[in-house]
Amino acid sequence: MANIYTDDVMQEGIKALARLMKESDSIVVLTGAGMDTESNIPDFRGKDGLWRKIDPRLVASVDTLEENYSMFREFYIERINRLKDVAPHEGHYVLADFEEKGIIKSIATQNVSALHKLAGSKNVNELHGNIRSIRCNNCNQEAKIDDFFNNHKCAYCGSSFLRPNVVLFGEALPAVPWDSAQSDIRNTDLLIVIGTSLEVSPVNQLPLLTRGKLTLINNEDVYAYYDFDIKLIGKAKDILIRLRDAYNRI
């Protein structure tokens, strides 16, 4: 296992990953909050993470949605407003370009920001949903974001519980993207894990499914039971830009 920590040897690790990519027929990417932090979206579990300031079980849960809807709305309106001036960074575009060229097959993401799709990636399995879309909690019909902001009722069933289309505490992951991500990872030659501490279940089980090579790009090491073939410890955007350049030179 190659552990790449210092900038002196980082480029050799990037070259090694680029060679693995060239040798692979099917590549899947798994991303977490660390992929989005360079777009000025704070992560959840880092030292300045959102969940260190707010107990998610108090606000981002099914119970709060049903029992304290005003608190639920206030929390998610703030989260959505934080995304108004947020855009994909160059690392998102690198992955989208890799997909367009047929280099990677799909992206599975824990992020609800939709930045992968905004950057042009098409085969994205949003495991925790998409905060930019709104639906009715009762009938699941799509609603407008302004209706959620203005506390309007569902236009289809009259329910008062509109919500972002994200996975709340107490809910299962959406079946279609979850099943698709599992299938892709089981059949991949190379899984590239980017920007996740792999602390959240059940997504942290996905790297264990692959029979191919397993690599990590993350701002800090992941001390767990994952047998990574390569670890690149640093910021996702910088490493992905350098990875694209290394890949193009091979």
Residue 122 has pLDDT above 70, yes or no: yes
pLDDT at position 217 is: 97
Domains and CATH numbers, the chain: 1-41+88-128+172-250 (3.40.50.1220), 42-82+132-166 (3.30.1600.10)
Q: Among residues 89, 92, 128, 152, which one is catalytic?
A: 128
pLDDT at position 58 is: 79
**pTM, 2 dp:** 0.91
| DSSP for the chain, written as a single string | -EEE-SHHHHHHHHHHHHHHHHH-S-EEEEE-GGGTGGGT---SSSTT-GGGTS-HHHHSBHHHHHH-HHHHHHHHHHHHHHTTT----HHHHHHHHHHHTTS--EEEE---S-HHHHTT--SEEETTEEEEEEEETTT--EE-HHHHHTTPPPTTT--S-EEEEEPPBT-PPPHHHHHHHHHHHHT-SEEEEES--S-STTGGGGGGG-SSEEEEEESS---SS---SEEEES-HHHHHHHHHHHHHH-
Percent of the chain residues topping a pLDDT of 90: 79
pLDDT at position 200 is: 87
Percent of the chain residues topping a pLDDT of 70: 90
Residue 116 catalytic?
Answer: no
Mean pLDDT to the nearest integer, 144-148: 96
Residue 31 has pLDDT above 70, yes or no: yes
pLDDT at position 186 is: 98
